[in-house]
Amino acid sequence: MAAKNSIKPLATVFFNTALLNAGPQPMLPAGGLPRPCFLIRLVNLSNVPVFFSYNNNDLHEVVPAGQTVTLPGFSNSMPGEVIPMFARGMQFSVFGIAGVGNIYLVGYFQDMV
């Protein structure tokens, strides 16, 4: 049987913004992303802006209240058959002020069957 490529989502993870503070707080369980992802969505369904870090130190993304940020790993790939990925094990941390509502991380990966 030939290999077949398919796209699958990671299980969505969320963080309650009532727990936010000025220090980095991990959004993913220990071990980070369970699969390399070619697309990440950061969805903020809260009433406060949320800041994201990829290294537990620097602020890399901000998602305004009620907004979604999509991070495609493939937008600048060259040559065309190479798909850059967000690495397996990559951590996402959140910073901000306490609010009401949740923030979500949704990832998509390519599964070889």
CATH number of domain containing 63: 2.60.120.10
pLDDT single digits (tens) 89-113: 999 999 999 999 999 999 998 876 5
Helix, strand, or coil (residue 48): coil
Span 36-56, average pLDDT: 94
Question: What is the chain's mean pLDDT, rounded?
Answer: 87
Cβ contact 94:30 at 8 Å? no
Q: What are phi and psi of 17, to 5 degrees?
A: -70, -15
> What per-residue confidence (pLDDT) applies to 1?
46
The total of structural domains in the chain comes to 1
Domain that holds residue 36: 5-112
